[in-house]
Amino acid sequence: MEGMAYGAGKAGGAFDPFTFFQQPHTILRMVSWLFSLVIFGCIANEGYVNRPDEVVEYCVYNRNQNACNYAVGMGTLAFLCCMAFLALDVHFPQISSVKDRKKAVLADVGVSVFWSFVWFVGFCFLANQWQVAKPEDNPLREGADAARAAITFSFFSIFTWAGQAYLAFQRYKLGADSALFSQDYTDPSQDAAAPYRGGSYQQPGGDGVFDGSAGYQRQDY
């Protein structure tokens, strides 16, 4: 795309919220953020139950504390990760360096693939523990809806994060438009090593400048 570098235009433009929230990767990011919040909230609020004759509460997933800890921990981290990358998405068009943009997009690919794998493991783990849970451990079926909701949104999160990875990879493939972005460009006015400037030649060993436009000038000794 003309004038684009890794999915964004040249740095310095004004931030447009309407365009920002219409971007597919922003939508998926917000959906993933919402899913992680639901998973965390379901387990933190209703994921611990006990028998009528017990005081101590146990994880609703087969009394396996690791299952609830995994859901709460990964939900919290995914929530924070989504917030961080949403902030990066807002700042991304202001990044003038193509190399920095490339690093940001590659980080997006790697992190998204990681979280897709994490939620795949989480879905399998939670679903298995829910399947083998004993009815006598929770005769009133307390927290059953929350447990199923966490499993469901863990499953959906696999695809939202995989979608983010795919879109980030597409942005990486776009690369940079060399007409507007150059990784090796140096502003001549900032290059102190340049011996030739604007028709004048800077003597390497002195302060004198020979102006070629003035022609030959006779030297009196």
Percent of all residues in the chain with a pLDDT value above 70, rounded to a whole number: 72
Structure tokens at 103: 């690093």
Q: Band the pLDDT of 92: cuts 50, 70, 90.
A: confident
Tell me: pLDDT of 128 over 80. Answer: yes
Confidence (pLDDT) at 148: 95
Cα 47 from Cα 49, distance rounded (Å):
7
Q: Band the pLDDT of 194: cuts 50, 70, 90.
A: very low
Cα 59 from Cα 73, distance rounded (Å):
14
Confidence (pLDDT) at 80: 96
Tell me: pLDDT of 156 over 80. Answer: yes
Confidence (pLDDT) at 188: 44
Tell me: pLDDT of 70 over 50. Answer: yes
Tell me: pLDDT of 196 over 70. Answer: no
Tell me: pLDDT of 151 over 50. Answer: yes
SS3 content of the chain, % helix, strand, coil (to 5): 60, 5, 35
Confidence (pLDDT) at 186: 43
Domain ranges for the chain: 21-180
Confidence (pLDDT) at 200: 47
Q: Band the pLDDT of 102: cuts 50, 70, 90.
A: confident
Confidence (pLDDT) at 147: 94
Residue 185: left if φ>0, alpha if ψ -120 to 50, beta else—which one? beta
- Return mean pLDDT, the chain: 80
Structure tokens at 149: 């909701």
Confidence (pLDDT) at 15: 66
State pTM to two decimals: 0.73
For 51, 55, 63, 134, 144, the CA distances from 140, given in Å and listed in that order, are 8, 15, 15, 12, 9
Q: Give the strands of the sheet with 209-211, arranged side by side.
A: 196-197, 200-202, 209-211
Cα 158 from Cα 128, distance rounded (Å):
17
Highest-scoring range by mean pLDDT, 30-39, 52-61, 94-103, 177-186: 30-39
